[in-house]
Structure 1
Amino acid sequence: MDSRLAAIKVWVASILGSDNFTLAPASSDASFRRYFRVSTGQASWIVMDAPPEKEDTGPFIKIGQFLDLQQIHVPEIIAQEQQAGFLLLSDLGKQPYLDVLNSDTADALYGDAFISLIKLQSCDTDTIVLPNYNRTLLQQELDLFPQWFLSKHFDITVPDHLQTTFDLLIDNALSQPQVIVHRDYHSRNLMVVADKNPGVIDFQDAVIGPISYDLVSLLRDCYIAWPQTKIDAWVQDYFKLAQQHGLLADCDLATFIRWFDLMGLQRHLKVLGIFCRLNYRDQKPNYMNDLPQTLAYVMQVCDRYDNLRDLGQFLSSSDKIVALLK
């Protein structure tokens, strides 16, 4: 047993007043955090293990408390030991959206997710201090694509025109209404719950940023794919709901779709780099299985816009990259 796991057992026993419980892995994510499910047989909780030299629990606590006040269903913090990097949380169950999404359930599940997203985006951005998704951060994210996907994974020379495309994507992001952005609002971070569905997790990296960001994370999810006709219909459903809540009053649907498409391209270029970094730097190879779907989203958007033709042609000219799509 590793030392942190032993310390978690002692800590949980001190809170419950008993050592009559089981501790089992619940999930892990792309960070250094780990999650364990504590069960007594009658009740269960989740322990977040966030090594303080690698992860700060402060943002999770602050943002979680804020979201709870906005009636967004997030885990309740039962106990905390910030110096050690331990949090004891309410258990939102074992059923992420990814496990139950299909053609029969998707409309209802995404409908709930839209309502929760509108609540998040309707929050006054002056009521919580969050980082801004500014030009510097957007550029840093995009740089992961040439560094880890092109250079490290494929040993491909980075083309000169790539920064022109990056500037286009950054300008697109900054031109949109700026709202609270979860930043990973997708099927692995939304839990199916009986009350106030969905349960929302993994929100500690929230920022103030583009209104289309979380929607494209949800509908062009790296872990599940839908026909474009379905995505188009859901985008329109969200757009109508957002307009009803005054979020897109001065925006037409065509403009929003362009925001959505280009925002998705920024995210997916970043994610291609992140998945490769997780593999080569962090020894987490499973994310490499999701490269083909993520790349497919990139190619689809490049095909839709003339000013993205250079990027599309560059990617299509590489046999190694094209082979990912087969």
Structure 2
Amino acid sequence: MTPPDAAPAFLAQAGWGNAQILPLAGDASFRRYFRIHDTARQAVLMDAPPPHEDPRPFLAIADHLIAQGFAAPGIIARDLDNGLVLLEDFGDIRVREYLDASPHEERAVYERAVSLLADLHTRPAADVPPYDRAVYQREAALLPEWYCPAVGLSVDEPGYTAAWDAVLTIVEQDDSPKVTVLRDYHAENIMLIPGHEQSRGLGLLDFQDALIGHPAYDLVSLLQDARREVAPEVEAAMIAHYKAIANPQGDFDAAYAILGAQRNAKIIGIFTRLWKRDGKPRYLDFLPRMWTLLERDLTHPALAPVADWFAANIPADKRHRALGGQ
């Protein structure tokens, strides 16, 4: 977590020349974050190095969310040539750690997060591409591309694509409105911040990959969290809360299960890739949870073609694997 070479000059030009640069976090991408201290003020430096990263989508979605009254980080300064962005600092209280310390607050905090989603889904969608069939299929294909070889399986990939084609039609043809889908809306990307009553005191992060899609997707992302265990009864209560306040159209339960299965298959592939290609074995620890969630989603009748494919191609003893030990 050494600061990028261009950071001191960038900060000086932005009026933060005497600031201290401290490591804050990295993530599954090439992005890194640093906390910037300057006497009584602080900010966050995003390092999104080109050509691997492009901060412009983040900036556009941040502007869109702020314009609609949601709490995305304000932009203090930017240097797009070097991929540097100085951001408003939302502090240290992430929902993940807060609930670890205060589990009795779980339902109240998740209810706020679900209510925020319902509010977002009433607003005009951002000017971003659609979450279409090609994207769904490309993401779902990460499981046979990365996980299956890692466990020594050669699988029916055309059959996998055909199974997803059969079920994704249900999502595409229902009457739900097309909404801004943040795509990574979960407890590690939501901050608890004072004020911001319109956004229920919740600060939003990591939304640069937003697309226009189905309202069930971010609800799945929140409640079938790859990194935090959400009890099935809490998940069910929050789905009911969303349905009560948003009155979604179409077969929402089917769409939720289909998008849950698609997302969980994608994440199993991504986390395997992070280990095999990028040397980040810590993500393997989450695979058992992801398989549990995926298998639960596959029990929905709407997912029968995909469930049949998994039954025929990935035996039970090839799931829930501690891959790093192979």
Task: Name the stretch that deviates more: 293-302 or 159-168.
Answer: 159-168
From 160, 163, 178, the equivalent of 2:161 is 163
Q: Distance in 2 between matches of 1:282 and 1:200?
A: 27
**Match of 1:206?**
210
Cα separation, partners in 2 of 1:322 and 1:279, compared to 1, 3 Å: closer
SS in 2 for 1:101: helix
Looking at both structures, which has the greater relative contact order when contacts are Cα pairs under 8 Å and sequence separation is at least 6?
Answer: 2
Identity %: 31
Q: Deviations over 1:192-212 (max 9, x none)?
A: 112232100111100001110
What are the within-5 Å matches in structure 2 for residues 13-24 of structure 1? 13-16=12-15, 18-19=17-18, 21-24=19-22
Matched, 1:294 2:295: no
Cα separation, partners in 2 of 1:157 and 1:18, compared to 1, 3 Å: closer
What are the within-5 Å matches in structure 2 for residues 108-187 of structure 1? 108-125=108-125, 128-151=126-149, 153-159=150-156, 161-176=159-174, 177=176, 178-187=178-187
Q: Distance in 2 between matches of 1:227 and 1:238?
A: 17
Task: Name the stretch that deviates more: 99-108 or 53-62.
Answer: 99-108
SS in 2 for 1:26: strand
Q: Alpha-carbon deviation of 1:179?
A: 1.1
Q: Distance in 1 between matches of 2:307 and 2:246?
A: 31
The code of the aligned residue for 2:89 comes to D
Q: TM-score, normalised by structure 2?
A: 0.89
What are the within-5 Å matches in structure 2 for residues 148-297 of structure 1? 148-151=146-149, 153-159=150-156, 161-176=159-174, 177=176, 178-196=178-196, 197-243=201-247, 248=248, 250-251=249-250, 255-297=251-293
Q: Alpha-carbon deviation of 1:114?
A: 1.7
Q: Aligned pairs, how many?
A: 312
SS in 1 for 2:78: strand
The code of the aligned residue for 1:188 comes to E
Q: Alpha-carbon deviation of 1:318?
A: 4.1
Is the contact made by 1:92 and 1:193 (CA closer than 8 Å) also made in structure 2?
yes
**Match of 1:91?**
89
Structure 1 unmatched runs, 5+: none
Q: Distance in 1 between matches of 2:234 and 2:322?
A: 24
Q: Deviations over 1:55-99 (max 9, x none)?
A: 111111111101101111000000111111111000011121111
Structure 2 unmatched runs, 5+: none
From 40, 58, 61, the equivalent of 2:59 is 61
Q: Deviations over 1:30-79 (max 9, x none)?
A: 11111100012411100011112111111111111011011110000001
CA RMSD of aligned residues (A): 2.1
Q: Distance in 2 between matches of 1:230 and 1:173?
A: 24
